[in-house]
Amino acid sequence: MRRNKQLGWSDVTPKSQWMNRRHLMVGTAAALIASPGLLRAEAAPSIYSTDEEPNTFEDLSTYNNFYEFGTGKEDPAYYASALTTDPWSIVIDGLVDKPGTYDLADVIKDQPIEERIYRFRCVEAWSAVVPWQGFELSGLLNRVGVQPGAKYVYFETLVRPEEMPGQQSTFIEWPYREGLRLDEAMNPLTILATGLYGEDMPNQNGAPIRLVVPWKYGFKSIKSIVRISLVAEQPQTTWNMLQPSEYGFYSNVNPTVDHPRWSQASERRIGSGLFGGRIDTLMFNGYEEQVASLYAGQDLAKDF
């Protein structure tokens, strides 16, 4: 029996109306709504946004990889409503000047919230165009003070198996872990997202705060973050731990380097149907101009 989908934003607001409102947004980010559980802000459009049309809210909120809730694409939307996201805190530690456990409101405080419409590419060869709301990770790192010995940024996801039933499986060593090189983390394209389609981040998409790195495959964009650590050595990351021959640390979108079990040269945009037309995959997911210099001199077939 097919599971009933919860009503999404697209069920009450036609996308054409939302797109019209999007173009009326002006100015810098407004103050956060007073309730600590609401992370919405009126977001200024970003110069980094693609002009491609976003997928619908329904596309983006009902077809997800979030193994903490199960391995099926519909599992996160079905189970994630049980996740408690308020209160929420993030440990920031390691090689920083101001380590501590920060309430989410303190993490977001004074960060300019922007709308970022990014291409999003999954390693499984499906893709989307997503209207995120968030702020540059570099702003937070600069605020806590990155010490000279820091070379990488390490992230962890929440572990709460009573609310995240996928964590009752042992095929992943929880918590979910990810990492970036420091220069990747400081790139202006790298954001911490707190919203989607002008609303608070849905639980199934990584509420209340997640990483978005648009030139890398989607599994690098860790969800429901509870720890950010600045470290000197390359950290362990979940998929690289599970299968290093298939999932490298860098995980940049690269159509010339196939996954061992399928081609990465093309992709299917979600919402186009099971047999929808495929499109060519772009180097660095179309962000080559902004990020190719980060990898000058590297062999991207080796550092995949």
pLDDT in tens, 28-57: 333 333 333 444 445 667 899 999 999 999
Which segment of 29-33, 179-183, 300-304 scores lowest on mean pLDDT? 29-33
Three-class HEC string of the chain: CCCCCCCCHHHHCCHHHHHHHHCCCCCCCCCCCCCCCCCCCCCEECCCCCCCCCCCHHHHHHCCCCHHHCCCCCHHHHHHHHCCCCCCEEEEEECECCCEEEEHHHHHCCCCCEEEEEEEECCCCEEEEEEEEEEEHHHHHHHHCECCCCCEEEEEECCCCCCCHHHHCCCCCCCCEEEEEHHHHHCCCCEEEEEECCEECCHHHCCCCEEECCCECHHHCCCCEEEEEEECCCCCCHHHHHCCCCCCCCCECCCCCCECCECCCEEEECCCCCCCCEEECCHHHHCHHHHHHHHCCCCCCCCC
Q: What is the pLDDT of residues 169-179, one digit of tens each?
A: 999 999 999 99
Whether 183 shows a pLDDT value over 90: the answer reads: yes
C-alpha span between 37 and 189 (Å, rounded)? 26
pLDDT, averaged across the chain: 88
C-alpha span between 58 and 68 (Å, rounded)? 20
Query: Phi, psi (5° rounding) for residue 163?
Result: -110, -15
- Mean pLDDT within 143-150: 98
| Overall size of the chain counted in residues | 304
The percent of residues above 70 in pLDDT, for the chain, comes to: 84
Among candidate residues 170, 171, 204, 201, the one with its CA nearest the CA of residue 73 = 204
Surface-to-core class of residue 238, CB atoms within 10 Å of its CB (0-12 exposed, 13-18 middle, 19+ buried): buried
pLDDT in the model for residue 43: 66
Q: What is the pLDDT of residues 268-279, one digit of tens each?
A: 999 887 667 799
- Mean pLDDT within 129-137: 98
The pTM assigned to this predicted structure is: 0.88
Q: Which residue has the tokens 């990898």?
A: 295
Q: What is the pLDDT of residues 67-125, one digit of tens each?
A: 999 999 999 999 999 999 999 999 999 999 999 999 999 999 999 999 999 999 999 99
C-alpha span between 129 and 52 (Å, rounded)? 7
Split at pLDDT 50, 70, 90, the class of 168 is very high
- Mean pLDDT within 197-211: 97
Q: Which residue has the tokens 């095929």?
A: 171
pLDDT in the model for residue 273: 73
pLDDT in the model for residue 14: 42
**Which residue segments constitute the domains of the chain, with CATH numbers given?**
15-295 (3.90.420.10)
Which segment of 22-31, 111-120, 201-210, 222-231 scores lowest on mean pLDDT? 22-31
Whether 2 shows a pLDDT value over 60: the answer reads: no
Split at pLDDT 50, 70, 90, the class of 282 is very high
Whether 200 shows a pLDDT value over 50: the answer reads: yes
C-alpha span between 256 and 258 (Å, rounded)? 6
Surface-to-core class of residue 42, CB atoms within 10 Å of its CB (0-12 exposed, 13-18 middle, 19+ buried): middle
**Angle of CA points 112, 23, 217, to nearest 5°:** 60
Amino acid 274 reads L
pLDDT in the model for residue 198: 93
Whether 222 shows a pLDDT value over 70: the answer reads: yes
- Mean pLDDT within 199-210: 98
177 in Cβ contact with 238 (< 8 Å) = yes
